Amino acid sequence: MELQFLGTGAGMPSKMRNTSAVILNLSAEGEGYWLFDCGEATQHQLLHTPLKPRKIAKIFITHLHGDHIFGLPGLLGSRSFLGGNERLEIYGPSGLKEWLETTLRITTTHLNYELLIQEVGEGIIVEDDKFKVIAKNLQHGIPCLGYRIEQKPLPGKLLIDKVNEAGVPKGPLLKELKDGSDVTLPDGRLIFSKDVTGEPQEGFTVTILGDTSYCNAAVELALDADLLVHEATFDMDTDNLAKEYGHSTIGDAARTASEAGAKKLIANHISARFMPSDVAKLKEQGEAIFPTLHIAEDFSRFVWIDGQVKNLNAEKPS
Amino acid sequence: MELQFLGTGAGMPSKMRNTSAVILNLSAEGEGYWLFDCGEATQHQLLHTPLKPRKIAKIFITHLHGDHIFGLPGLLGSRSFLGGNERLEIYGPSGLKEWLETTLRITTTHLNYELLIQEVGEGIIVEDDKFKVIAKNLQHGIPCLGYRIEQKPLPGKLLIDKVNEAGVPKGPLLKELKDGSDVTLPDGRLIFSKDVTGEPQEGFTVTILGDTSYCNAAVELALDADLLVHEATFDMDTDNLAKEYGHSTIGDAARTASEAGAKKLIANHISARFMPSDVAKLKEQGEAIFPTLHIAEDFSRFVWIDGQVKNLNAEKPS
Ligand SMILES: [Zn+2]
Ligand SMILES: [Zn+2]
């Protein structure tokens, strides 16, 4: 799992930060890329990364404000033009389907792939053998979702000593045991997977929220998460504005991470009002409440290694 | 008059060229900016110029392909957010109104200014005391307009010798004479404007076309124009593709400029297939037919000085 931020600004693009988009790269887990929100010029940001639009398999939209969706039609078209022919699933609040269908129709955009647009509310909105995605309503004036992505426990490692001891022949039976199935050997003996594999490994949980004031739903979505991505449109001196506009301060984000027992917090959706020195102050304010905090920059990358989220320094785009 | 290209690419953004947008800056003529087409990330391109979104007074859309309009909703929102409160007029083909209204409604975008969306066909679509804009249908598979912008003749210069001779007192009467009105002096004498002013100065004509194959309408729109902006999606070796997709080669653009008797041609809508060396070849192919030709780059600027269009070198964006 890798997480790469493509846009970390609020409301409008600036030279420093584009509008919202973050890619959860699940290629290693066999799921392709999952994109969360798609502000205008997200496809332009992708041009400065090695990421390929055609590998985007799912898109999750938190809410229908322009700074979170205006890049979607262009990206859908380019994904097709650049060779994408595998089905794309888009999840988001009610209204998304009407807007996308109207847009594709009026611009006569032809897609060389199947497009599934699924308007969703609270609940489990995606589940397969490897992942579960849970959505909850946040607090932002218009319907706005937060997403909790849970990787299911991974089968334990095959214990070579044990399979040799049991006399399991090399080949497909080993893979079945590794994948959790019990097998019958050619000589009739039944071998239980649990006897020849180690403990199942816990999967990761990543929580990616849309714009929101502090709310219980955010804490619930982030419960024990390895990583929480939370907006911080305001600093703690402008708490009143945050509440008024349905946004969070860096303090709200840190408090949510802390109450949820999350392991790491990445704050994004940073207003262009904040100069680089203000961002340092923002970080300090947050760290006083929740120490394992990063402020996302455009192109910041985070990876999941040995059960931990590690920060790869933001690379300057080429 | 200044013309600045914001996007000169075709179909999709690349690192070198954004999708279509060009600003006709008529600030000196008292008309603000007129924007022609608005591909995705046009507002991002503006961030790298001194141009201000709130000064955009009119937007002309040639056709409803995504690479010509996907930047529109974001720009409309940002224009409002950045202090724009004067009325904005948008002209374009049928379907534009439904798309924009659907988009603004679903994204709950609030604009602090009056928005007039006018779906237009062929004819005079804008006329005031200084300018006339004429539209014609081009040939591009879907309805696609070309625009001819004619500046009306400017009143001749006030001839100081003549007004002194006639004994016109300094003050508002001079301005009236300059603006073409005849006036009565305090002593009862009638002074005719034409007797104290020089010849009316001819205005400029700029023709900005949407995507098109070679067609008569393009030639008619460009007749005797000081400047023709014409697409050149293909080179002369791929003539068959140009026709098939409703586009032009650099040869078609040059031929149109030549047949119309235009004074200068700027080719834009250049495919990302063309590397810088290919672009040089493109230029050669065009110049063989029509010598006063420029290939537009993103941020290229052209100004109208002393009755001529001059090319200011493209400035690297900051
Ligand atoms: Zn937002
Ligand atoms: Zn085009």
Strand order in the sheet with A115-119: A115-119, A88-92, A56-60, A32-36, A21-26, A2-7, A301-305, A308-312
Q: Please report which residue ranges of B167-302 form alpha helices under DSSP H.
A: 172-178, 193-196, 216-221, 239-244, 250-260, 276-287
Give the per-residue pLDDT at A179.
83
CA distances from B258 to B238, B264, B291, B314 (A): 21, 9, 9, 25
Strand order in the sheet with B21-26: B115-119, B88-92, B56-60, B32-36, B21-26, B2-7, B301-305, B308-312
Distance from the Cα of A119 to chain B's closest Cα (Å) equals 14
What does the alpha-carbon distance between residue B168 and residue B191 come to, in Å, rounded to a whole number? 9
For the segment A141-147, the average pLDDT, to the nearest whole number, is 97
Q: Which H/E stretch holds residue A69? A: helix A66-69
Q: How big is the A-B interface in CB pairs under 8 Å?
A: 104
Give the per-residue pLDDT at B201.
86
Distance from the Cα of A198 to chain B's closest Cα (Å) equals 49
Beta bridge partners of B191: B183
What does the alpha-carbon distance between residue B249 and residue B237 come to, in Å, rounded to a whole number? 9
| Domains of chain B, CATH where assigned | 2-154+201-311 (3.60.15.10), 160-196 (no CATH)
CA distances from B214 to B232, B243, B247, B251 (A): 10, 8, 8, 9
pLDDT tens readout for residues B231-268: 999 999 888 889 889 999 999 999 999 999 999 999 99
Q: Is A67 annotated as a binding residue?
A: yes
Interface of B with A (CB under 8 A): 11-15, 18-19, 40-41, 43-44, 47-48, 64-67, 69-71, 73-74, 77-78, 81-82, 95-96, 98-99, 102-103, 106-109, 142
Give the per-residue pLDDT at B30.
95
Q: Which H/E stretch holds residue B265? A: strand B265-268
Classify residue A37 by burial, with Cβ atoms within 10 Å: 0-12, 13-18, 19+. Answer: buried
Its pTM stands at: 0.92
User: What is the bridge-based pairing of β-strands B293-295 and B265-268?
Assistant: parallel
Q: Nearest to residue B204, comparing CAs of B166, B150, B130?
A: B150
pLDDT tens readout for residues A65-122: 999 999 999 999 999 999 999 999 999 999 999 999 999 999 999 999 999 999 999 9
In three-state secondary structure terms, B316 is coil
Q: Which amino acid makes up residue B119?
A: E
Query: Which DSSP category does A237 fall into?
Result: G
- Whether the pLDDT of residue A196 is over 60: the answer is yes
Interface of A with B (CB under 8 A): 11-15, 18-19, 40-41, 43-44, 47-48, 64-67, 69-71, 73-74, 77-78, 81-82, 95-96, 98-99, 102-103, 106-109, 142
**Where are any strands of DSSP class E within chain A?**
2-7, 21-26, 32-36, 56-60, 88-92, 115-119, 123-127, 131-137, 145-151, 183-184, 190-191, 205-209, 227-231, 265-268, 293-295, 301-305, 308-312
ipTM of the complex: 0.91
In three-state secondary structure terms, B135 is strand
Nearest to A98 among B65, B78, B106 (CB): B106
What does the alpha-carbon distance between residue B190 and residue A242 come to, in Å, rounded to a whole number? 68
A203 Cα distance to chain centroid: 14
Residues in chain A: 318
- Whether the pLDDT of residue A296 is over 80: the answer is yes
What does the alpha-carbon distance between residue B8 and residue A142 come to, in Å, rounded to a whole number? 37
Q: Is B294 annotated as a binding residue?
A: no
Question: What is the Å distance from ligand 2's center to B64 Cα?
Answer: 9
Q: Is B65 annotated as a binding residue?
A: yes
Question: What is the Å distance from ligand 2's center to A72 Cα?
Answer: 18
Q: Which residues contact B206 (CB under 8 A, 6 or more apart)?
A: B1, B3, B24, B148, B149, B225, B226, B227, B229
Give the per-residue pLDDT at B317.
56
Count of Cβ atoms closer than 10 Å to residue A241 Cβ: 14
What does the alpha-carbon distance between residue A298 and residue A314 come to, in Å, rounded to a whole number? 8
State which residue of chain A sits closest to B141, comparing Cα positions: A108
A67 in catalytic set: yes
Q: Could you read off the pLDDT tens digit of each residue along chain B, which spans 318 residues?
A: 999 999 999 999 999 999 999 999 999 999 999 999 999 999 999 999 999 999 999 999 999 999 999 999 999 999 999 999 999 999 999 999 999 999 999 999 999 999 999 999 999 999 999 999 999 999 999 999 999 999 999 888 889 899 899 888 888 888 888 888 899 998 999 999 989 999 888 899 999 999 999 999 999 999 999 999 999 999 998 888 898 899 999 999 999 999 999 999 999 999 988 988 899 999 999 999 999 999 999 999 999 988 888 888 655 555
Distance from the Cα of A310 to chain B's closest Cα (Å) equals 30
CA distances from B109 to A9, A40, A66, A243 (A): 18, 15, 7, 20
- The DSSP secondary structure of A75-109, one letter per residue, reads HHHHHHHTT--S-EEEEESTTHHHHHHHHHHHTT-
> For tokens 């030709």, what's the residue?
B293
Ligand closest to the CA atom of residue B247? 2
Count of Cβ atoms closer than 10 Å to residue A206 Cβ: 28
Q: Nearest to residue A35, comparing CAs of A44, A27, A25?
A: A25
A185 Cα distance to chain centroid: 42
∠ CA B81-B86-B87, rounded to 5°: 110
Give the per-residue pLDDT at B43.
98
User: What is the bridge-based pairing of β-strands B301-305 and B2-7?
Assistant: antiparallel
CB contact under 8 Å between B142 and A108, yes or no, is: yes
Can you count the helices (H) and strands (E) in chain B?
11, 17
In three-state secondary structure terms, B244 is helix
CA distances from A204 to A111, A117, A300 (A): 33, 26, 19
Give chain B positions within 8 Å (CB) of A98. Answer: 102, 106
What does the alpha-carbon distance between residue A58 and residue A53 come to, in Å, rounded to a whole number? 11
> For tokens 């202090």, what's the residue?
B83
Contacts of range A23-27, beta carbons closer than 8 Å, 24 or more positions apart? A23/A51, A23/A56, A24/A149, A24/A206, A24/A208, A25/A1, A25/A51, A26/A1, A26/A131, A27/A55
CB contact under 8 Å between A44 and B40, yes or no, is: yes
Give the per-residue pLDDT at B316.
53
Nearest to A77 among B15, B66, B71 (CB): B66
- The DSSP secondary structure of A105-133, one letter per residue, reads HHTT---SS-EEEEE--SEEEEE-SSEEE
